Amino acid sequence: MSQDHPLLQRACDILKAGHVVGMPTETVYGLAGDGTNDQAVTQIYTLKGRPSFNPLIFHVNSLEMAQQFAHFSKEALRVAHYFWETNPGPLTLVLPRNEKSAASLLACAGLDTIAIRRPHHPLAMELMTRFGKPLVAPSANISNQLSPTQAADVEKDFPGLYVLDGGACTVGLESTIVGMTHDTPIILRHGGVLAQQIEALLGQPVEHYTHDNIIAPGMMKKHYAPRKPLRIDVDEPDVDEDLLGFGQNYPHAFSNLSPKGCVTEAASNFFAFMRQMDGSPKPKIAVAPIPHEGLGIAINDRLLRAVS
Ligand code: TXA
Ligand code: MG
């Protein structure tokens, strides 16, 4: 899509007027608004039905833009350079907020930290370059429900919303969130960038959040849930369950996240297939075991929250 594409300009005009649009990213679609405008932020919380104590991620088109809104330690700079530029991956950093910046406090839920991510979808990048300011964008779904990985999913949840159609999301699961406000980085949400990659880059271990070290109010809630009851790690479904398979052992599954057993393929199919399962004939969903490796860690994290 070229720089002067009319759809892109229309999205930009809507944002400038303080309203919100559906924005494609490589992970999932976002419900995007001006990160410096409390009114736009309020619309996002209201449309999603999201509690306002759960802060939003600020999306930027460059490290320079990010540095206006957050303080980067030497380590944070290394991580950002690497995963935002050298070897792009879906990574959100939680950093000390620059208190002099114009970031909406509402979007930060009043915390003295700020979550920042540089997406890698060309349309998102062009939109931010054109808009010139960070866009806050939670996943474009009604709060706690399944995330959207194509424009039609967003249009279903938010009829009448202007959605910039960037095709199906390639990664399919939300970004990895890493807290870098203390000496030791901490994984706050699993995603496409793995803990081991960050450890290898920094040469130091990273921590993982537990029930005891929650630092964002939104971290433990039930999330990513289909409407139907869900059971996980199932090999043999009950008669009232449709099975979502993984790998070659499930010829009778309703559908299969990756018949060849690839966790990356499974991640990119995950939310779209879960939405299909919500519309399948049987009243309950069962999901086959997914290996806890690579993106399988992030898939299992989403499944655990869905059953919580
Ligand atoms: O891939 C993604 O990250 C997608 C796309 C649209 O960019 N966005 C996304 O946003 O998943 P959302 O709102 O669904 O999830 C944001 C998470 C929430 O769990 C929130 O609690 C956490 O980020 N968060 C935001 N600000 C934070 C902060 N200052 N400290 C800790 N966690 C924060
Ligand atoms: Mg979400």
Name, in order, each residue with C-beta under 8 angstroms of 261's C-beta and a sequence gap of 6 or more: 246, 247, 248, 291
From the CA of 142, which ligand is nearest?
2
Which residues have their alpha-adjacent CB atom under 5 A from ion ligand 2?
139
pLDDT of residue 52: 87
Our mutation pick for probing the ligand 1 site, out of 92, 182, 214, 268, counting the most ligand atoms within 8 A of Cβ, is 92
Q: Which two tokens stand for residue 193?
A: 């960038």
From the CA of 118, which ligand is nearest?
1
215 ligand 1 Cβ < 6 A: yes
171 ligand 1 Cβ < 6 A: no
pLDDT of residue 210: 72
Q: What is the pTM of this model?
A: 0.93
Q: Does residue 173 contact residue 298 with C-beta atoms inside 8 Å?
A: yes
- Tell me which amino acid residue 10 is: R
pLDDT of residue 27: 97
Q: Which of 203, 189, 183, 164 is CA-nearest to residue 82?
A: 203
Q: How far is the CA of 218 from the centre of ligand 1 (A)?
A: 8
Q: How far is the CA of 306 from the centre of ligand 2 (A)?
A: 12
139 ligand 1 Cβ < 6 A: yes
pLDDT of residue 218: 53
Q: How far is the CA of 295 from the centre of ligand 2 (A)?
A: 17
Consecutive 10-residue averages of pLDDT for the chain (308 residues): 75 98 98 98 96 94 98 97 95 97 95 96 96 98 95 97 97 96 93 95 91 59 83 96 97 96 97 95 98 95 89
